[in-house]
Amino acid sequence: MRYPYYPGCTLYTKAKNLDRCARQSAQILGFELQELETWNCCGAIYSTVTDDLAAQVGPIRNLVQARKMGNSLVTLCAACYNVLLRSHNFLFAPGNEKTRKRLLEFLEEPYDENMKVLHYLEVLKNDIGWDKIKVKVKKNLKGLKVAPYYGCLLLRPAEELKFDDPDNPKVMDELMATLGAEPIDFPFKGECCGGYILVNAPDIALKCSKTILDSIIAAGAECVITSCPLCQYNIDNQQKLIREKSPGFKKIPVFYFTQLLGLALGLEGEILALDNHYVDPKPLLIQKGLING
């Protein structure tokens, strides 16, 4: 199997580990992520301004590129996934026929409805299947207590994304169980991490991430996984500030789900990029005997 793949900006810089582990794991699991020949910023935030077509051009250009290569597009970053999928829906929403015509004419490229914007997790669950992944597991993550943090962009608006139950998401939990780890349930799986308000209202953003982290730690998790670079940043790096404010705070490592996937499938060393975390995850993994010190 081969999927057109849209990495998105962060996955080339801060979120290398999210990207690399995903590609390598894909190979082990028998499918390939084929990067778009050309791609541009997804737009980062889905524009809800209906008459601002310029905002739609960016994401739709990516879709159009993907359409040339196949009838699906796989992304990893929750934000990209959210924006690209909703832009696609926007194009084919009833009543938008004129707008669609205009946009596609502007892009001078053919495009049609038979295009699926998929998140990597959807590929794992629906196309590969947990059973197939289970047999490929080299390093069972037995005994590792993982809190899967989904964040908002992956789940909402639920009726549009149809990704998972926004109040009780399961897919990352299922993945972790498949890899042998113990998924930890906590009430804030889908709450906002603080997102972009980090810039203009840092205190509120901080409160958001702290609420989530507190609950995760209270629930007895040893680490967190996310699928969104922004979440990863807020939940991981914000711990620095949290500790300044409340010294008692106990640090907890935050992975991308692909890192644990890769680890379980036997990836090692550089690929896992265990170094670009604020909270160093290595001690935990060593203690669990998953990597050697």
Partner 1 sequence: MVEKKTKNQKRIGVFVCHCGINIAGTVKIDEVLRRLKDYPSIAVVKDHQYCCSDPGQNLIKETIVKEKLDGVVVACCSPTLHEPTFRKAAASTGINPYLCEIANIREQCSWVTEDKDKATEKAVKIIKTMVKKVQYDEPLTPISVPITKRAMVIGAGVAGIQAALDIANAGYETILVEKNPSIGGHMAQLSETFPTLDCSQCILTPKMVEVKQHPNIKLFSYSEVKGVSGYVGNFKVKVKKKTRYILPTKCNGCGDCAIACPVSVINEFDAGLSKRKAVYRPFPQAVPNIFTIEKKGISPCRVACPAGVNAHGYVALIAAGKYQEALDLERQANPFASVCGRVCNHPCESNCNRNQVDKPIAICSLKRFIADYELKKGRQLPPPVEKVKFDKVAIIGGGPAGLACAYFLAKKGYPVTIFEALPELGGMLITGIPEFRLPRPAIKADIDYILAHGIDVKTNQTLGKDFTIEDLFNRGYKAVFLATGASKGLKLGVPGENLSGVYQVLDFLRFVNLKTKDLTTEVNGKRVAVIGGGNAAVDAARTALRLGAKEVSIIYRRSRREMPANEWEIEEAEKEGVKIVYLSGPTKILGKDNKVIGIECQKMELGPPDATGRRMPIPIPKSEFTVETDIVILAVSQAPDTSLFPDLEKTRWGAIVVNPDNMMTSQEGIFAGGDLVSGPATVIEAVAAGRKAAEGIEMYLEGEELKPAEKPNPEIAQFTPEEYALFKKEPRAEMPKIPLTERKSFKEVELGFSEEEAKREAQRCLNCSVCCECMECVKACEAEAIDHNLKDESEEFEIGSLVLATGYEVLDKKILGPYGNGKYPDVIDGLQFERILSASGPTSGEVRRPSDGKVPKRVVFVQCAGSRDPENYMPYCSKVCCMYTAKHALLYKHRVHDGEAIIFYIDVRTGGKGFEEFYKRATDEGVIYIRGKVSKIFEQNGKVTVWGADTLTGKKVELDCDMVVLATAMVPTPQTKTLATILKTALDEQGWLVEAHPKLRPVETMTAGFYLAGAGQGPKDIPEAVAQASAAASKVVALFSQKELQHAPIIAGVDDDLCSGCGLCVGVCPYQARELELKEDGKTKKIKVVEVLCEGCGACSAACPSGAAQQKNLTDEQIQAMVKAGLEE
Q: Which stretch binds partner 1 (CB under 8 A): 120-128, 183-191, 246-254, 255-263?
A: 183-191
237 binds partner 1 (CB under 8 A): no
Q: How many CB atoms lie within 10 A of CB 266?
A: 13
187 binds partner 1 (CB under 8 A): yes
203 binds partner 1 (CB under 8 A): no
> Could you tell me the smallest distance in angstroms from the CB atom of residue 190 to partner 1?
10
Q: What is the dihedral of CA 13, 19, 21, 22, to 10 degrees?
A: 180
DSSP 3-state of 279: coil
Residue from the set 34, 40, 215, 237 that interacts with partner 1 by CB under 8 A: 215
Contacts 24+ apart (CB under 8 A), 91-100: 91/56, 91/60, 99/53
Q: Which stretch binds partner 1 (CB under 8 A): 104-112, 144-152, 163-171, 263-271?
A: 163-171
**φ, ψ (nearest 5 deg) of residue 70:** 170, -170
For partner 1, the closer of residues 70 and 166 by Cβ is 166
For partner 1, the closer of residues 155 and 235 by Cβ is 155
> Could you tell me the smallest distance in angstroms from the CB atom of residue 159 to partner 1?
8
218 binds partner 1 (CB under 8 A): yes
CA distances from 149 to 91, 141, 146, 256 (A): 30, 18, 9, 10
97 binds partner 1 (CB under 8 A): no
220 binds partner 1 (CB under 8 A): no
Q: Which stretch binds partner 1 (CB under 8 A): 39-47, 55-63, 162-170, 194-202?
A: 162-170
> Could you tell me the smallest distance in angstroms from the CB atom of residue 198 to partner 1?
20
> Could you tell me the smallest distance in angstroms from the CB atom of residue 82 to partner 1?
20
Q: What is the dihedral of CA 229, 48, 4, 78, to 10 degrees?
A: 20
168 binds partner 1 (CB under 8 A): yes
For partner 1, the closer of residues 16 and 156 by Cβ is 156
CA distances from 287 to 1, 180, 239, 291 (A): 37, 16, 22, 8
> Could you tell me the smallest distance in angstroms from the CB atom of residue 167 to partner 1?
3
Q: d(Cα 120, Cα 77) in Å, to the nearest integer?
A: 9
Q: d(Cα 23, Cα 190) in Å, to the nearest integer?
A: 26
Query: Which residues are CB-neighbours of 91 under 8 A, at least 6 positions away?
Result: 56, 60, 99, 100, 103, 104, 111
Give me the residues that bind partner 1 (CB under 8 A), please: 165-168, 186-188, 215, 218-219
